[in-house]
Structure 1
Amino acid sequence: MSRADAARNRRSLLDAAAAELAEQGLEVSIARIAARAGVAKGTVFNHFPTKEDLIAEIFGDRVACLVTLGETLLEEVDPGSALLRFMTAGIELQANDRSFCQAAAAIPGSHPRVRAASERLAQTAETLTARARDAGMIRPDVTGHDIVLLLGAAAQAAAPLGNTMPDLWRRYLYLIFDGLRPECARELPVAAPTSDEFTAAVKTIPAKGAG
């Protein structure tokens, strides 16, 4: 098999796995994923030794897209607008992509692919946040780790009404973003997590039924 064929198979597997995960949940079988991708079951294991590795790759794949967007947004003239667009994309991903949420819940934070993706996301968020801080567009004590955690906060706040009000997360995004502005900011009672604390927390997040 050529390298191009292998890459196409891998891409097909990831797309099929993401679709099946979104439709069937964590209990979806490797055989079902292979059938949807149009490959043999053994081909799945040639690319991903375990189901957990496959699901971790889905998570990493989605995060990589968000990171790529964040890197592109570093070229934006308005740092505040760039940060808002990054947050919008991050929250929308969680609100609308069930496969991403399933993947995030299914694998432990100690998995190398998850850890690497999470660290790269935090670095990108910090770079965007630093630009907005330096421009005076957000309060000076906000960090990239704050931003990453707030992405989940907005998505989770809207989740109970997701089926009837699918865009409700946008309300909470803007409430959160307004809270980041420097006007009338008060001293926060607790410091932001450090890089070490954030990384340690990611490593200890347990899996929820990876199967």
Structure 2
Amino acid sequence: MTSTRPLRADASRNRRLLLAAAADEFAERGLDASVADIARRAGLGKGTVFRHFPTKDDLLAAIVLDRIDELTTAGEELLAAPDPGAALLEFLTVAAARRQQRDLSFLQEAGDLNPEVVAARARMFDLVHRLVDRARAGGAVRADVTGADVILLMCAPNYVISYVPDAPPDLWRRYLAIIFDGLRPEGAHALPFPPPTV
């Protein structure tokens, strides 16, 4: 699906246009979005789509990979932040904001069978564990919270507001703040069940 050779400037531009158009088209029409509509939205021909992405599954996987790579890059930069609690909150904010910008929640399982997506997701999950470990060691996160807990909570702010008709665009921030307060050690009660493994 991906080549090890760097793309020419025009090919790289076309790929970016296609991924943005496909993400918008899938967000509006779901997985039934057509390649013809994606090409039209990108201002390119269908042949260009198939040169970059031989199948619709390849295109879906590329969108998922782009999202994961953006989050992983942001998280890696935050690992060096001096305040580990603020770094974890910033990472969760970036994750929720990017999800809010373009609702692609239905793509959650789109790349599950793609080995590149599986590997990228594992790298991102490892990164979340490291961010949580740093925040816990710094006293910003309660001792019984794990990376697996935070991974499962990452989608929660946007999931909650999906039930609010005509939700204001920043409503997710309210629920992220509630979630993050629940992660803090101040006033915490022991959790009633052990954490899952993710």
Q: Please point out which of 134, 145, 150 is paired with 2:148.
A: 145
**Contact 2:72–2:124 (CA<8 Å) still a contact in 1?**
yes
- 2:194 is the alignment partner of 1:191: yes
The 1:188–1:179 alpha-carbon spacing in structure 2 relative to 1, beyond 3 Å, is same
Match of 1:51 in 2: 56
- Cα deviations across residues 137-196 of structure 1 (Å, max 9, x unaligned)? 1112222221121011222112111623332211111111111111232332222222xx
Cα distance between partner residues in 2 of 1:59 and 1:43: 20
Match of 2:171 in 1: 168
Match of 1:37 in 2: 42
**Contact 1:161–1:168 (CA<8 Å) still a contact in 2?**
no
Deviates more, 1:178-187 or 1:79-88: 178-187
Q: Please point out which of 73, 79, 96 is paired with 2:84.
A: 79
- Unpaired stretches in structure 1, ≥5 consecutive residues: 199-211
Amino acid at match of 2:167: T
Match of 1:156 in 2: 159
Match of 2:4 in 1: none
1:108 CA displacement: 5.0
Match of 2:3 in 1: none
Match of 1:24 in 2: 29
- Cα deviations across residues 57-101 of structure 1 (Å, max 9, x unaligned)? 111101211111111112211111111111111122223312x32
Cα distance between partner residues in 2 of 1:144 and 1:16: 33
Q: For residue 155 of structure 2, give the secondary structure of its aligned residue in structure 1.
A: helix
Amino acid at match of 1:184: G
**Contact 2:64–2:111 (CA<8 Å) still a contact in 1?**
no
Q: Please point out which of 136, 145, 152 is paired with 2:139.
A: 136
Q: For residue 50 of structure 2, give the secondary structure of its aligned residue in structure 1.
A: helix
Q: For residue 26 of structure 1, give the secondary structure of its aligned residue in structure 2.
A: helix
Q: Please point out which of 87, 94, 107 is paired with 1:89.
A: 94
- 2:185 is the alignment partner of 1:182: yes
Provide TM-score, normalisation by structure 2: 0.87
Cα distance between partner residues in 2 of 1:38 and 1:158: 33
1:7 CA displacement: 2.0
Total equivalences in the alignment: 192
- 2:102 is the alignment partner of 1:114: no
Give the percent of matched residue pairs that are identical in Structure 1 and Structure 2. Answer: 49
Cα distance between partner residues in 2 of 1:108 and 1:3: 26
**Contact 1:162–1:168 (CA<8 Å) still a contact in 2?**
no
Cα distance between partner residues in 2 of 1:108 and 1:5: 26
Larger helix share, 1 or 2: 1
**Contact 1:142–1:180 (CA<8 Å) still a contact in 2?**
yes
Amino acid at match of 1:27: D
Provide TM-score, normalisation by structure 1: 0.82
Cα distance between partner residues in 2 of 1:138 and 1:65: 24
Aligned CA RMSD, in angstroms, stands at 1.9
Cα distance between partner residues in 2 of 1:159 and 1:166: 11
